[in-house]
Protein backbone atom coordinates (compact mmCIF):
# COMPACT_ATOMS: atom_id res chain seq x y z
CA UNK A 1 0.00 0.00 0.00
CA UNK A 2 1.37 3.40 -1.01
CA UNK A 3 0.81 5.24 2.28
CA UNK A 4 2.90 8.24 1.28
CA UNK A 5 0.88 8.58 -1.90
CA UNK A 6 -2.35 8.41 0.10
CA UNK A 7 -1.13 11.15 2.46
CA UNK A 8 -0.03 13.29 -0.48
CA UNK A 9 -3.48 13.00 -2.06
CA UNK A 10 -5.15 13.93 1.23
CA UNK A 11 -2.79 16.87 1.70
CA UNK A 12 -3.59 18.32 -1.72
CA UNK A 13 -7.32 17.96 -1.12
CA UNK A 14 -7.05 19.70 2.25
CA UNK A 15 -5.01 22.53 0.75
CA UNK A 16 -7.89 23.29 -1.60
CA UNK A 17 -10.53 23.42 1.14
CA UNK A 18 -11.82 26.77 2.32
CA UNK A 19 -14.13 25.45 5.07
CA UNK A 20 -11.39 25.17 7.68
CA UNK A 21 -13.40 25.92 10.81
CA UNK A 22 -12.64 28.44 13.54
CA UNK A 23 -9.63 28.39 15.86
CA UNK A 24 -10.18 28.15 19.63
CA UNK A 25 -10.42 31.88 20.26
CA UNK A 26 -11.53 31.49 23.90
CA UNK A 27 -7.90 30.67 24.75
CA UNK A 28 -6.05 33.86 23.72
CA UNK A 29 -2.77 32.15 22.81
CA UNK A 30 -4.54 29.62 20.59
CA UNK A 31 -6.52 32.40 18.92
CA UNK A 32 -3.25 33.60 17.37
CA UNK A 33 -2.65 30.34 15.46
CA UNK A 34 -3.32 30.50 11.73
CA UNK A 35 -6.07 28.16 10.51
CA UNK A 36 -4.03 27.63 7.33
CA UNK A 37 -1.72 25.09 8.98
CA UNK A 38 -2.10 21.45 8.06
CA UNK A 39 0.05 18.44 8.89
CA UNK A 40 -0.38 14.69 8.98
CA UNK A 41 1.96 11.93 10.14
CA UNK A 42 1.63 8.17 10.22
CA UNK A 43 3.78 5.56 11.96
CA UNK A 44 3.23 1.92 11.05
CA UNK A 45 3.60 -1.14 13.25
CA UNK A 46 6.67 -2.21 11.26
CA UNK A 47 8.50 1.05 12.01
CA UNK A 48 7.89 3.08 8.86
CA UNK A 49 6.81 6.71 9.04
CA UNK A 50 5.17 9.04 6.55
CA UNK A 51 4.50 12.77 6.73
CA UNK A 52 2.91 15.65 4.83
CA UNK A 53 2.58 19.36 5.50
CA UNK A 54 3.92 21.12 8.59
CA UNK A 55 4.77 17.85 10.33
CA UNK A 56 7.67 19.37 12.29
CA UNK A 57 5.76 22.39 13.61
CA UNK A 58 4.80 22.01 17.30
CA UNK A 59 1.23 22.75 18.33
CA UNK A 60 -0.70 22.65 21.59
CA UNK A 61 -2.00 19.11 22.07
CA UNK A 62 -4.63 20.23 24.61
CA UNK A 63 -7.09 17.39 25.31
CA UNK A 64 -4.98 14.79 23.53
CA UNK A 65 -2.89 14.93 26.70
CA UNK A 66 -5.81 13.19 28.44
CA UNK A 67 -4.88 9.93 26.72
CA UNK A 68 -1.46 9.96 28.35
CA UNK A 69 -2.64 11.00 31.81
CA UNK A 70 -5.33 8.31 31.67
CA UNK A 71 -2.67 5.71 30.90
CA UNK A 72 -0.65 6.93 33.89
CA UNK A 73 -3.66 6.97 36.22
CA UNK A 74 -4.74 3.46 35.23
CA UNK A 75 -1.20 2.27 35.81
CA UNK A 76 -1.23 3.74 39.29
CA UNK A 77 -4.82 3.09 40.40
CA UNK A 78 -6.16 0.40 38.11
CA UNK A 79 -9.93 -0.09 38.17
CA UNK A 80 -10.18 1.97 41.35
CA UNK A 81 -10.14 5.02 39.08
CA UNK A 82 -13.62 4.11 37.83
CA UNK A 83 -15.15 4.85 41.22
CA UNK A 84 -14.50 8.52 40.48
CA UNK A 85 -15.14 8.80 36.75
CA UNK A 86 -17.41 6.93 34.35
CA UNK A 87 -16.83 5.29 30.99
CA UNK A 88 -19.88 6.43 29.03
CA UNK A 89 -20.21 9.00 26.22
CA UNK A 90 -21.51 12.33 27.42
CA UNK A 91 -23.56 13.58 24.49
CA UNK A 92 -22.86 17.09 25.79
CA UNK A 93 -20.16 19.71 25.32
CA UNK A 94 -16.73 18.91 26.74
CA UNK A 95 -17.03 21.60 29.43
CA UNK A 96 -20.69 21.07 30.35
CA UNK A 97 -21.77 21.31 33.99
CA UNK A 98 -25.29 20.00 33.41
CA UNK A 99 -24.46 16.29 33.46
CA UNK A 100 -22.05 16.74 36.35
CA UNK A 101 -24.81 18.22 38.48
CA UNK A 102 -27.28 15.48 37.58
CA UNK A 103 -24.74 12.76 38.39
CA UNK A 104 -23.52 14.10 41.73
CA UNK A 105 -20.06 15.21 40.72
CA UNK A 106 -19.04 12.00 38.92
CA UNK A 107 -17.91 12.92 35.37
CA UNK A 108 -19.32 10.79 32.58
CA UNK A 109 -15.90 9.83 31.14
CA UNK A 110 -12.19 10.71 31.45
CA UNK A 111 -12.09 12.74 28.23
CA UNK A 112 -14.58 15.48 29.06
CA UNK A 113 -12.89 18.29 30.98
CA UNK A 114 -14.36 17.36 34.36
CA UNK A 115 -13.27 13.75 33.94
CA UNK A 116 -9.78 14.75 32.89
CA UNK A 117 -9.47 17.02 35.93
CA UNK A 118 -10.39 14.05 38.15
CA UNK A 119 -7.76 11.91 36.39
CA UNK A 120 -5.15 14.62 36.93
CA UNK A 121 -6.25 14.96 40.55
CA UNK A 122 -5.77 11.20 40.98
CA UNK A 123 -2.17 11.20 39.75
CA UNK A 124 -1.47 14.35 41.76
CA UNK A 125 -2.26 12.58 45.04
CA UNK A 126 0.74 12.80 47.36
CA UNK A 127 2.92 14.55 44.78
CA UNK A 128 3.94 18.11 44.03
CA UNK A 129 2.55 19.58 40.78
CA UNK A 130 6.05 19.89 39.34
CA UNK A 131 6.66 16.18 39.97
CA UNK A 132 3.43 15.17 38.24
CA UNK A 133 4.10 17.35 35.22
CA UNK A 134 7.59 15.87 35.04
CA UNK A 135 6.09 12.38 35.11
CA UNK A 136 3.63 13.23 32.34
CA UNK A 137 6.39 14.70 30.18
CA UNK A 138 8.67 11.71 30.80
CA UNK A 139 5.91 9.31 29.78
CA UNK A 140 5.16 11.21 26.57
CA UNK A 141 8.84 11.61 25.71
CA UNK A 142 9.42 7.90 26.27
CA UNK A 143 6.41 7.02 24.14
CA UNK A 144 7.63 9.30 21.36
CA UNK A 145 11.29 8.40 21.72
CA UNK A 146 11.97 12.13 21.69
CA UNK A 147 13.10 14.38 24.55
CA UNK A 148 12.36 17.59 22.64
CA UNK A 149 8.78 17.84 23.92
CA UNK A 150 7.91 20.69 26.27
CA UNK A 151 5.18 22.73 27.92
CA UNK A 152 4.39 26.10 26.38
CA UNK A 153 4.10 28.23 29.50
CA UNK A 154 2.46 31.11 27.63
CA UNK A 155 -0.38 28.81 26.63
CA UNK A 156 -0.61 27.44 30.18
CA UNK A 157 -0.88 30.96 31.60
CA UNK A 158 -3.44 31.87 28.97
CA UNK A 159 -5.54 28.89 30.05
CA UNK A 160 -5.15 29.72 33.73
CA UNK A 161 -6.22 33.31 33.11
CA UNK A 162 -9.37 32.26 31.25
CA UNK A 163 -10.14 28.81 32.71
CA UNK A 164 -12.95 29.90 35.00
CA UNK A 165 -15.34 27.23 33.79
CA UNK A 166 -12.83 24.45 34.44
CA UNK A 167 -12.28 25.83 37.93
CA UNK A 168 -16.04 25.86 38.43
CA UNK A 169 -16.19 22.19 37.41
CA UNK A 170 -13.38 21.42 39.86
CA UNK A 171 -15.05 23.29 42.72
CA UNK A 172 -18.33 21.50 42.02
CA UNK A 173 -16.61 18.11 42.15
CA UNK A 174 -14.77 19.15 45.30
CA UNK A 175 -18.13 19.96 46.89
CA UNK A 176 -19.23 16.40 46.08
CA UNK A 177 -16.05 14.91 47.54
CA UNK A 178 -14.68 13.83 44.16
CA UNK A 179 -11.60 16.05 44.16
CA UNK A 180 -8.87 15.29 46.68
CA UNK A 181 -6.67 18.32 46.07
CA UNK A 182 -7.46 22.02 46.01
CA UNK A 183 -9.23 22.90 42.74
CA UNK A 184 -6.57 25.49 41.92
CA UNK A 185 -3.87 22.84 42.30
CA UNK A 186 -5.53 20.16 40.17
CA UNK A 187 -6.55 22.67 37.51
CA UNK A 188 -3.07 24.18 37.49
CA UNK A 189 -1.56 20.82 36.58
CA UNK A 190 -4.37 20.21 34.08
CA UNK A 191 -3.78 23.54 32.33
CA UNK A 192 -0.07 22.80 32.02
CA UNK A 193 -0.54 19.26 30.68
CA UNK A 194 -2.88 20.65 28.02
CA UNK A 195 -0.20 23.19 27.08
CA UNK A 196 2.29 20.49 26.04
CA UNK A 197 3.41 21.09 22.46
CA UNK A 198 4.18 18.39 19.92
CA UNK A 199 4.47 18.10 16.17
CA UNK A 200 2.41 15.55 14.28
CA UNK A 201 5.60 13.53 13.81
CA UNK A 202 6.14 13.40 17.57
CA UNK A 203 2.48 12.73 18.32
CA UNK A 204 2.22 9.85 15.85
CA UNK A 205 5.34 8.35 17.39
CA UNK A 206 3.95 8.80 20.90
CA UNK A 207 0.75 6.99 19.94
CA UNK A 208 2.57 3.81 18.94
CA UNK A 209 2.08 2.23 22.36
CA UNK A 210 -1.65 2.18 21.65
CA UNK A 211 -1.26 0.17 18.43
CA UNK A 212 -0.74 -2.98 20.46
CA UNK A 213 1.48 -4.56 17.83
CA UNK A 214 4.94 -3.31 18.78
CA UNK A 215 6.34 -4.77 22.02
CA UNK A 216 9.12 -2.16 22.04
CA UNK A 217 6.56 0.63 22.20
CA UNK A 218 4.31 -1.09 24.74
CA UNK A 219 4.36 1.11 27.82
CA UNK A 220 1.13 -0.30 29.24
CA UNK A 221 -0.41 -3.75 29.27
CA UNK A 222 -2.31 -5.04 26.21
CA UNK A 223 -5.53 -5.15 28.24
CA UNK A 224 -5.14 -1.50 29.20
CA UNK A 225 -4.36 -0.56 25.60
CA UNK A 226 -7.65 -2.12 24.50
CA UNK A 227 -9.58 -0.24 27.16
CA UNK A 228 -8.01 3.11 26.36
CA UNK A 229 -8.75 2.57 22.67
CA UNK A 230 -12.35 1.68 23.50
CA UNK A 231 -12.76 4.95 25.38
CA UNK A 232 -11.12 6.89 22.56
CA UNK A 233 -13.60 5.39 20.11
CA UNK A 234 -16.69 6.05 22.22
CA UNK A 235 -15.72 9.28 24.00
CA UNK A 236 -12.68 10.79 22.27
CA UNK A 237 -14.50 13.50 20.32
CA UNK A 238 -16.94 14.78 22.95
CA UNK A 239 -20.47 15.09 21.57
CA UNK A 240 -19.06 14.39 18.11
CA UNK A 241 -17.77 10.94 19.08
CA UNK A 242 -20.56 9.01 17.42
CA UNK A 243 -20.11 10.91 14.17
CA UNK A 244 -16.34 10.33 14.24
CA UNK A 245 -16.83 6.59 14.86
CA UNK A 246 -19.33 6.45 11.99
CA UNK A 247 -17.13 8.35 9.55
CA UNK A 248 -13.70 7.02 10.53
CA UNK A 249 -14.25 3.78 12.43
CA UNK A 250 -11.06 4.09 14.47
CA UNK A 251 -10.24 5.20 18.03
CA UNK A 252 -9.28 8.85 18.16
CA UNK A 253 -8.74 11.71 20.57
CA UNK A 254 -9.05 15.33 19.57
CA UNK A 255 -7.87 18.56 21.15
CA UNK A 256 -8.97 22.16 20.69
CA UNK A 257 -5.49 22.98 19.45
CA UNK A 258 -6.64 21.29 16.24
CA UNK A 259 -4.82 18.00 16.70
CA UNK A 260 -6.22 14.48 16.51
CA UNK A 261 -4.47 11.26 17.50
CA UNK A 262 -5.94 8.22 15.74
CA UNK A 263 -5.05 4.57 16.27
CA UNK A 264 -5.44 1.78 13.74
CA UNK A 265 -4.91 -1.16 16.13
CA UNK A 266 -2.07 -3.40 15.03
CA UNK A 267 -1.42 -1.19 12.01
CA UNK A 268 -0.61 2.45 12.63
CA UNK A 269 -0.60 5.52 14.82
CA UNK A 270 -1.79 8.64 13.01
CA UNK A 271 -1.60 12.31 13.97
CA UNK A 272 -3.21 15.18 12.11
CA UNK A 273 -3.25 18.91 12.84
CA UNK A 274 -5.47 21.60 11.42
CA UNK A 275 -6.31 24.36 13.92
CA UNK A 276 -9.79 25.25 12.66
CA UNK A 277 -12.52 23.58 14.72
CA UNK A 278 -16.10 22.51 14.12
CA UNK A 279 -19.00 23.28 16.46
CA UNK A 280 -18.05 20.39 18.77
CA UNK A 281 -14.46 21.59 19.20
CA UNK A 282 -12.87 19.00 16.90
CA UNK A 283 -10.57 19.78 13.99
CA UNK A 284 -12.75 20.17 10.91
CA UNK A 285 -10.15 19.34 8.28
CA UNK A 286 -8.38 16.90 10.58
CA UNK A 287 -11.54 14.84 10.87
CA UNK A 288 -12.05 14.91 7.11
CA UNK A 289 -8.41 13.95 6.53
CA UNK A 290 -8.55 10.85 8.72
CA UNK A 291 -11.89 9.93 7.17
CA UNK A 292 -10.18 10.03 3.77
CA UNK A 293 -7.31 7.94 5.15
CA UNK A 294 -9.69 5.31 6.55
CA UNK A 295 -11.49 5.13 3.21
CA UNK A 296 -8.26 4.78 1.23
CA UNK A 297 -6.70 2.16 3.51
CA UNK A 298 -9.91 0.37 4.52
CA UNK A 299 -8.67 0.48 8.12
CA UNK A 300 -11.49 0.12 10.62
CA UNK A 301 -12.11 -1.64 13.91
CA UNK A 302 -15.41 -2.78 12.40
CA UNK A 303 -13.89 -4.96 9.71
Return the CATH number at 121: 3.40.710.10
Residue 235 lies in a domain: yes
Tell me: do 169 and 235 sit in the same domain.
no
- Tally of structural domains, the chain: 2
Listed residue (120, 96, 123) closest to 108, CA to CA:
96
Q: Which of 112, 155, 238, 254 is catalytic?
A: 238
For residues 273-281, give the mean pLDDT: 94
Residue 153 included in any domain: yes
Q: Where are the beta strands (DSSP E) in 161-258?
A: 196-198, 252-254
Please confirm, yes or no, whether 66 is among the known catalytic residues: yes
Is 157 in the active site? no
Among residues 41, 60, 63, 269, the one annotated as catalytic is 63
Last residue of a domain, one of 149, 166, 196: 196
Query: What is the reported pLDDT for 136?
Result: 97
Question: Is residue 105 in a domain?
Answer: yes
Instruction: Tell whether 191 and 69 lie within a shared domain.
Output: yes
Q: Does residue 213 carry a pLDDT above 80? A: no
- Determine, yes or no, domain membership for 206: yes
Same domain for 181 and 293: no
Using a 10 angstrom Cβ sphere, with 0-12 exposed, 13-18 middle and 19 or more buried, the burial of residue 170 is: buried
The reply to whether 189 belongs to the active site is no
Please state the rounded mean pLDDT for residues 144-157. Answer: 96
Is the pLDDT higher at 3 or at 103?
3
Asked, for residue 53, whether it belongs to a domain, the answer is yes
What does the pLDDT look like over 24-39, one tens digit per residue? 988 999 999 999 999 9
Q: Domain check: are 205 and 186 in the same one?
A: no
Higher model confidence: residue 136 or residue 215? 136
Residue 214 has pLDDT above 70, yes or no: no
The catalytic residue among 52, 256, 262, 272 is 256
Catalytic residue (one of 66, 112, 158, 253): 66
Exactly one of 33, 90, 190, 274 is catalytic; which is it? 190
- pLDDT-derived band at 75, boundaries 50, 70, 90: very high
pTM, two decimals, is 0.95
Q: Is 302 within a domain?
A: no
Binning pLDDT at 50, 70 and 90, where does residue 215 land? low
Q: Which long-range contacts (CB under 8 A, 24 or more apart) does 97-103 make?
A: 97/165, 97/168, 97/169, 97/172, 100/169, 100/172, 100/173, 101/172
pLDDT digits (tens, 9 = 90+) for 117-130: 999 999 998 899 99
Q: In the prediction, which pLDDT does 197 show?
A: 98
Domain boundary among 196, 220, 248: 196
Please tell me whether residues 221 and 146 are part of one structural domain: no
The answer on 134 and 13 residing in a single domain is: no
Asked whether residue 221 is domain-assigned, the answer is yes
Q: What is the pLDDT of residue 245?
A: 96
Structural domain span for residue 218: 3-60+198-297
The reply to whether 88 and 148 lie within a common domain is: yes
If asked whether residues 189 and 84 sit together in one domain, one would say yes
Per-residue pLDDT at 95 exceeds 80? no
Q: Which of 146, 131, 107 is nearest to 193 (CA)?
A: 131
Amino acid sequence: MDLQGILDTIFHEMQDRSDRGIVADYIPELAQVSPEHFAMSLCTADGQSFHVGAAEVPFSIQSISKVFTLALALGRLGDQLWTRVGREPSGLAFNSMVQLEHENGIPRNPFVNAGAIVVTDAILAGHAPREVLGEVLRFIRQAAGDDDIHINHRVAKSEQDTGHRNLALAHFMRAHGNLRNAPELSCGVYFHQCAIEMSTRQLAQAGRFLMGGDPAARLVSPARVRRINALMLTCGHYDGSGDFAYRVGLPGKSGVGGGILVIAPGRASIAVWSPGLDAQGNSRLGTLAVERLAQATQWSVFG
